[in-house]
Structure 1
Amino acid sequence: MLQLNVKNETSRLRAVILGTAINNGPTPKIEEAYDPKSLEHIKAGTYPVEADMVKEMEAFNQVFQKYDVQVYRPEIIENYNQIFSRDIGFVIDDIFIKANILPDRERELEAIQYVIDQIDPNKVVRPPDNVHIEGGDVMPWNDYIFIGTYKGSDYKDYITARTNMDGVNFIKELFPNKIVKEFDLVKSKIEPRDNALHLDCCFQPVGTNKGIIYKSGFREEADYMFLVNLFGKENLFHIEREEMYHMNSNVFSIAPDVVVSEKNFTRLNTWLREQGFTVEEIPYAEIAKQEGLLRCSTLPLIRD
């Protein structure tokens, strides 16, 4: 049996599901795009090709091997995008929560069923249909659970609005002993530079008391200020609009002092090293074209 344990974003990682880019399928048609960034690259003819994405994910896998992390990969579905395992489920404490994702992505859950079968069935939860929640919006942080949402009345019109208030309330009921704090995110169907697809597109903790943040990703300044007050302004690395677009906040922590980052994130990686982090740089710029990066590709199962 897998003894799940995830209490925060940065404790030493022991087991993870890493997505796969193998048999990724053809470039989507314009009307099939799930997000504005993919749409931009489909239109420009710069959408990533499978061979490049497989290489990038293998580089990520090699870092996990280096740190002796147990890595599970989804079973391959033919002609299908299975890169972003964070969307389909997440672990808080010792509970695996299956996400209610866009209906045509249901098969991605089936592809990791062999992992779910190794978990105590009493610890696997599927929310009711009205609950929308995706792993990219959910961040356990010790006593807190941070959740990205969208409170606009036009929620249903936004394919980029992935977690609703029903999702927030579901987590509150499931974890009554935690402080659940939701953040209202800026969404755009057409401009990827103004679209926080998930909370991890505009905020992510690193280490034990630091974080990466994009102020303009929050619809309410009070939500941004909550994080500034909690972490301390001097502990937050503020990214700019173009850095948010390239997904600088979507790095991934293997340990409190080890961060996997994209090799082009020069300003961020310099700051991380100045703060004493070991930065494992890998190429991930092709996968980033689909508005997802390192955190999006992972589903942590066990952290110390």
Structure 2
Amino acid sequence: MSVDATPTTSSGAGGGAPRKRIVVTGANAGLGYFVSEQLAAMGIRVVLACRDLGRAERAADSIRTRVPNADLEIVVADLADLSSLEEASAAIVAGGPVDGLVANAGVVGSRKRQKTRDGFELQFGTNHLGHFALISHLLPALTESEAGRIVHLGSISHRWARLDLDDPMLVSGYHSYRAYSRSKLAVMSFGFELDRRLRASGSRVRSIVAHPGFALENLTEKRPGIVRRRWLPAPAVGFLRTFSQGKDQGARPLSYAATAPEVQSGEYWGPDGWFQLTGAPALVKAKKHARATKTAARLWNLSSRLTRVQPVIESSPARR
């Protein structure tokens, strides 16, 4: 099943229904930037949740050059700092209803083993634990929404990874790619487990996993000050296009998962092309180990212990 790459949604312009308000982490660059631009073009109020205020402001300016009526907010949020996330969540909730969260921000590769401010291995701590904490803080507001939605950023790298919950920080034997792929598998495992628990509670909140395929900066549409493309000869660019795409196209499955009415909780969305590397947004399959319930339950408990928070799941107001 594949769909048109440009999702549609209702806009609050012209006195219609109130605009949806969606938070995007890591919105100042890469996939997060293009998700934010695409959502703004649909008439959605976008909260740019970024680590650096200056970069967030440049991203907002860039979006407004293409979407003049863009409704944007900026909140400083560092996924590698749990105290920052608590403050950011309070600011987000104070700013109005929360209809969605695109949990996009993350670290891709770190040659040397580094730590977050809280002492976690950088990639696992940022990509998974940071979003686990942020979602825990925002879930009550999402539950109050008419149709709250959480999109977790997965990766095709989960196919070759397995979680080691006895050594989640790779203290013994660090390798950058192993750390990255395990962190993304953790993100997906949590996303599917959150869906199971939301369904069991009768909540309307949807937990969806989506991935961008193989998205490269060098194939991305130009955005001065945002996209940093390195020069490559034309033949090399042509070759890359046979199995990869730009960040702008990679963002489409995330935007679609965040807005399309037919997207259901627990689904996995990505490109519809060969090996899910490129193409239009489509419902795709995750590997079975990404949906392993026993491992997911262990991961949930571990994450709660490490972050000292956990998602409190209640039924949505209309179902109480």
TM-score, normalised by the number of residues in structure 2: 0.30
Rg comparison, structure with higher value: 2
Quick one: higher RCO (CA 8 Å, sep 6+), 1 or 2? Answer: 1
Q: Which protein is richer in strand relative to its size?
A: 1
TM-score, normalised by the number of residues in structure 1: 0.31
